[in-house]
Amino acid sequence: MTTPCIIRGLGHCVPETRLTNADLERMVDTNDEWITSRTGVKERRIAALGETTVSLSHQAALRALENAGMQAEELTHILVATFTPDAYIPSSACMLADCLGIIGRTAMDISAACSGFLFALEAARAIICLHPEAKVLVAATDVVSSRLDYTDRSICILFGDGGGAAIVTADTGLAPAGCAQVLDVLLATDGSAHGLLTVKGGGSGAPYKPGETVRRDFFVEMNGREVFKYAVRAMSSICKKMLEKNSLDKDQVDVFIPHQANLRIIDAVGTRLEMPTEKIFTNLQKYGNTSAASVIIALSEAREEGFIKDGNLVLLSTFGGGFTWGSALLRF
Ligand code: ACO
């Protein structure tokens, strides 16, 4: 049996430094018109020296705790979804727990690329089923710039850095106004497509020897066209499945927040779902694709800006390397 869960607080944090399309024109052979028409991205935020997955997660977590009216001390579990951890050891979750000044709790990283937030949200729900008193911090953060080759114009224009956080607890019926009920989460993967979107270098399958300079495989590599096609199919079909499973019509959805990868992908998914554009929240124009952080930043910002109102039914969808994809249904 599922224990009903709520998101008690949301927060996000993006670096101050902006990388605009004009800046990229000076770095690679590209132009604002190409980037805007192919992706919709106008600028992205890039981590400064010392700004990391852990530090962005920390700021996002503090905001989520404040939003929830909770103290870090109350947290029982810390999850960090990322493909750009500060280090292989220790986990970013252990480092985040240290930043928050808490010791002796469960802390672990989750790897699902751009779908990281939904995979971590589902893990939080499972933890709460086992431990109904749990108060789980779900952070989803990527410093994608640390794994981008800024001489590769086909990829470096797509991504930006950022982090988001949500505090997830059981729904005791006593939650203050403003919380979101997590009605359902659906996840899927297809490992047979693993070669289409990769960051292999430095892993045990592509190790580096002392003194060796980084190879191409250290950075994000992608077959953009294939990723595009698969992402459209996967996100639209899992959203349809989510609506069917919950006996909902698309008209009952108030806000749709898809993975903020590319406006053309979002338009294609919106068309397949027959979702009116005014219900679709986008912020990729200013942040680019922030990977695991993408939908949690969008969710936090949409709530903060009043795009999501009390009572709204919100549909989320993600897609990432693996391939991984998912959908979640929230009621604010
Ligand atoms: N500026 C100018 N020209 C460029 C650029 C650039 N930045 N990048 C590529 N081009 C050129 C190519 O060299 C090619 O030129 P050619 O025809 O002379 O060979 C031409 O533009 C077309 O290139 P395509 O790759 O075919 O362009 P496409 O229309 O497919 O758009 C894009 C590329 C934007 C990457 C698209 O495929 C896409 O958005 N794919 C999805 C990517 C994505 O969102 N990935 C993240 C998923 S989630 C995760 O987990 C990370």
Query: For 121-179, what is each residue's pLDDT tens digit?
Result: 999 999 999 999 999 999 999 999 999 999 999 999 999 999 999 999 999 988 788 89
Phi then psi dihedrals of residue 296, to 5 deg = -75, -35
Give residues (CB < 6 A) around ligand 1: 30, 34-35, 38-39, 113-114, 153-154, 157-158, 197, 222, 224-225, 227-228, 231, 261-262, 289, 291, 319-321
Pairing type for strands 313-320 and 255-258 reads parallel
Indicate the top mutation candidate among 225, 233, 267 to test ligand 1's pocket, ranked by most ligand atoms within 8 A of CB.
Answer: 225
Q: Three-state DSSP class for 9?
A: strand
Q: At what angle do helices 263-273 and 32-39 cross, to 10 degrees?
A: 20
Indicate the top mutation candidate among 83, 200, 227 to test ligand 1's pocket, ranked by most ligand atoms within 8 A of CB.
Answer: 227
Higher pLDDT, 177 or 223: 223
Return the CATH number of 5-170, one of 3.40.50.620, 3.40.47.10, 3.40.50.300, 3.40.50.450: 3.40.47.10
Q: Considering only CA atoms, which residue is closest to atom 40 of ligand 1? A: 224
Q: Considering only CA atoms, which residue is closest to atom 22 of ligand 1? A: 154
Q: Considering only CA atoms, which residue is closest to atom 50 of ligand 1? A: 320
Other residues' Cβ atoms within 10 Å of the Cβ of residue 297: 31
CA 37 to ligand 1 center in whole angstroms: 11
CA nearest to 279, candidates 312, 239, 238: 312
CA 84 to ligand 1 center in whole angstroms: 22
Q: What is the mean pLDDT of residues 243-260?
A: 98
Q: Considering only CA atoms, which residue is closest to atom 4 of ligand 1? A: 154
42-57 confidence digits (pLDDT tens): 999 999 999 999 999 9
The dihedral built from the CA positions of residue 236, 237, 238 and 244, taken in this order, carries a sign that is: positive
Rg over CA atoms, the chain = 19
Asked, colleague to colleague, whether 5-170 and 180-331 share their fold, the answer is yes
For residue 39, give the ligand 1 atom closest to its CA. Answer: 34
Overall CATH class of domain 180-331: alpha beta
Please, which pLDDT band fits residue 252 given cuts at 50, 70 and 90? very high
CA 22 to ligand 1 center in whole angstroms: 18
CA 228 to ligand 1 center in whole angstroms: 9
For residue 225, give the ligand 1 atom closest to its CA. Answer: 37
- 220 in Cβ contact with 142 (< 8 Å): no
Task: Report angle CA 238, 241, 246 to the nearest 5 degrees.
Answer: 130
d(CA 168, CA 299): 14
For residue 155, give the ligand 1 atom closest to its CA. Answer: 35
**How is 25-57 classified by DSSP, letter by letter?**
HTTSS--HHHHHHHH---EEE-PPTT--HHHHH
Please, which pLDDT band fits residue 188 given cuts at 50, 70 and 90? very high
Summary mean pLDDT of the chain: 97
Active-site amino acid positions: 114, 259, 289
271-311 confidence digits (pLDDT tens): 999 999 999 999 999 999 999 999 999 999 999 999 999 99
CA 145 to ligand 1 center in whole angstroms: 18
Model confidence at 315: pLDDT above 80: yes
Query: What pLDDT is stored for residue 176 in this prediction?
Result: 81
d(CA 263, CA 40): 5
Query: What pLDDT is stored for residue 177 in this prediction?
Result: 84
4-24 confidence digits (pLDDT tens): 999 999 999 999 999 999 999
pTM of the model: 0.97
Model confidence at 1: pLDDT above 90: no
- 263 in Cβ contact with 283 (< 8 Å): no
CA 299 to ligand 1 center in whole angstroms: 27
Domain ranges for the chain: 5-170, 180-331
Residue type present at position 176: P
